[in-house]
Amino acid sequence: MPSEHKFPVKPFPVDKQIQGISVRTNQEHYKLYQGYVNRWNEILEKLKTADRSKANATYSEFSELKRQETFNANGKILHELFFPTILGGDGKPKGEILEKIKQDFGSFEAWKEDFIATGMSARGWAILALELQSEKLFNFLVDLQNVGHVQDTVAILALDVFEHAYFIDYGTNRKSYIDAFFNNINWDFVEKRYQYAKKVAQIYKEYFKE
């Protein structure tokens, strides 16, 4: 744990009207994001003095802080992927990431079908990620912010399917929300994430040659 670090709440243009997802939803959603950042900072502060000698797997102050740390950390990180993805895009896929999706899934439609089904199945997130060893794309299902992440992968595109992301606009109709998500994807941002993931995969290869 870093002895002194406070994460900033990043600004996102949540007041902007986008297709199919209301300003109110994005504003309320942003408040939850702020909560994750603030809670992580609060946990870091409390961890400084928590009694490590009482650590155990059923209950202690230190153990619970460590348990909630990953929930809030990923809550922060995933929303920082989610908001730039849906705010300011036109939904038209492009770039090297589009070619890579076609290469790894057969076609864009085949990937989209699998990603939507992953989003319909998840309790938390559907995540398109680059697995570093194979350098292949995978759609992963994440049930909770700290349950289901596959290590040694880099997240490229994150779809939030917690009810707070769509209930105000669509009630239980999650599929319509996912359609709206697709109409807003900022593929320039997704491409940037893919280029970043590719570099990490390159470094991985340098250190872990077979």
* Footprint of Fe ion (CB under 5 A): 160, 162
**Strand pairing category for 125-131 and 153-160:** antiparallel
Q: Which is nearer to Fe ion, 159 or 190 (CB)?
A: 159
Residue 21 Cα to chain centre, angstroms: 18
Bin 93: left if φ > 0, else alpha if -120 < ψ < 50, else beta. beta
* Least Cβ distance, residue 59 to Fe ion (angstroms): 28
Least distance in Å: CB of 15 to Fe ion?
A: 17
Residue 39 or 46 with smaller CB distance to Fe ion: 39
Q: Which helix (H) or strand (E) holds 151?
A: none
Closest approach of Cβ 163 to Fe ion, in Å?
Answer: 9
Q: Which is nearer to Fe ion, 94 or 175 (CB)?
A: 175
CA atoms 53, 54, 57, 62: torsion sign:
negative
**Please, what is the minimum distance in Å from the beta carbon of residue 29 to Fe ion?**
6
**Residue matched to tokens 């989209």:** 112
Closest residue to bound Fe ion by CB: 160
34 or 107: whose CB is closer to Fe ion? 34
What is the residue whose two structure tokens read 């406070």?
A: 6
